[in-house]
Structure 1
Amino acid sequence: MYRKSKSNGKGTTYDLREVVTNIKWSTDLNFSAGELTFDLIQNAHPIIPYTGDIITFRWDHHKIFYGYVFKYEVKEDNTVSVTCYDKSRYLKNQDSIVWQSGTIADRFNNVCKRAGIKHKVVDKPTHKVSAEVCDGKTYFDMVKSAIVKTRTATKHMYYIYCNYDVVELRRAPYKKLKMIIGSKSAMTGFSYAVDINNTANVVKVIQKDTKKSQAKSATAKQDDPKRTSFKSTSAAGKSTEQWGKLQETVNKKNKANHAQMVKQAKDELRKKNRANKELTIDCLGHVDLVAGNAVTIKINDLGKTLKNCPILKAEHNFGADYNCHLTMKVGAEWLGNS
Structure 2
Amino acid sequence: MTVTTFKLQRRGKSTTYDLRDVLASNPKWITDLNFSAGELDFDLFQSGHPIIPYTGDIIKFRWDHHKIFYGYVFKYQIKENNIVSVTCYDKERYLKNQDSIVWQAGTVADRFNNVCKRAGIKHKVVDAPTHKVAAEICDGKTYFDMLKSAITKTQTATKHMYYVYCNYDTVELRKAPYKKLKMIIGSKSAMTGFSYAVDINNVANVVKVIQKDVKKSQSKSATAKQKQANGKSQKTTSAKAKTSQKDEASRTSFKSVSVKGDSTKQWGKLQVTVNKKNKANHAQMIKQAKDELRKRNRANKELTIDCIGNVDLVAGNAVTIKINDINKTLKNCPILKAEHEFGTDYMCHLTMKVGAEWLQETS
TM-score, normalised to structure 2's length? Answer: 0.90
1:318 is matched with 342
User: What's the CA shift for 1:312?
Assistant: 0.1
- Partner residue of 1:5 out of 4, 10, 26: 10
- Pair 120,58 (structure 1): closer, same or farther in 2 beyond 3 Å: same
5+ residue gaps in structure 1?
none
1:188 is matched with 192
Q: For 1:144 and 1:182, how far apart are their aligned partners in 2? A: 33
Structure 1 residues 312-334: Cα deviation after superposition (integer angstroms, max 9, x where no partner): 00000001110000000002520
- Partner residue of 1:19 out of 11, 18, 22: 22
- Partner residue of 2:351 out of 320, 323, 327: 327
Structure 1 residues 17-64: Cα deviation after superposition (integer angstroms, max 9, x where no partner): 111123100000000000000000232452111000000000011000
- Partner residue of 1:292 out of 309, 316, 333: 316
Bigger shift: residues 218-227 or 184-193: 218-227
3-state SS of 1:174 partner: coil
Q: For 1:63 and 1:51, how far apart are their aligned partners in 2? A: 22
3-state SS of 1:184 partner: coil
- Partner residue of 1:225 out of 236, 242, 249: 249
3-state SS of 1:2 partner: strand
Q: For 2:108 and 2:150, how far apart are their aligned partners in 1? A: 6
1:236-247 matched pairs, under 5 angstroms: 236-247=260-271
1:271 is matched with 295
Work out whether residues 22 and 317 of structure 1, in 8 Å CA contact, stay in contact via their aligned partners in 2.
Answer: yes
5+ residue gaps in structure 2?
1-5, 222-236
Structure possessing the higher radius of gyration over alpha carbons: 2
2:79 is matched with 75
1:35-184 matched pairs, under 5 angstroms: 35-184=39-188
Matching residue's letter, 1:17: R
Work out whether residues 295 and 311 of structure 1, in 8 Å CA contact, stay in contact via their aligned partners in 2.
Answer: yes
Q: How well do the aligned residues superpose, as a CA RMSD in angstroms?
A: 1.6
Q: For 1:51 and 1:77, how far apart are their aligned partners in 2? A: 22
Structure 1 residues 89-108: Cα deviation after superposition (integer angstroms, max 9, x where no partner): 00000000000111000100
Structure 1 residues 185-226: Cα deviation after superposition (integer angstroms, max 9, x where no partner): 000000000000000001000000001113568997868111
3-state SS of 1:266 partner: helix
- Partner residue of 1:305 out of 312, 329, 332: 329
3-state SS of 1:224 partner: helix
Matching residue's letter, 2:100: S
Percent identity of the aligned residues? Answer: 82
TM-score, normalised to structure 1's length? Answer: 0.96
User: What's the CA shift for 1:75?
Assistant: 1.2
1:203 is matched with 207
Q: For 1:273 and 1:133, how far apart are their aligned partners in 2? A: 31
User: What's the CA shift for 1:83?
Assistant: 0.3
Q: For 2:62 and 2:109, how far apart are their aligned partners in 1? A: 29
Work out whether residues 45 and 78 of structure 1, in 8 Å CA contact, stay in contact via their aligned partners in 2.
Answer: no
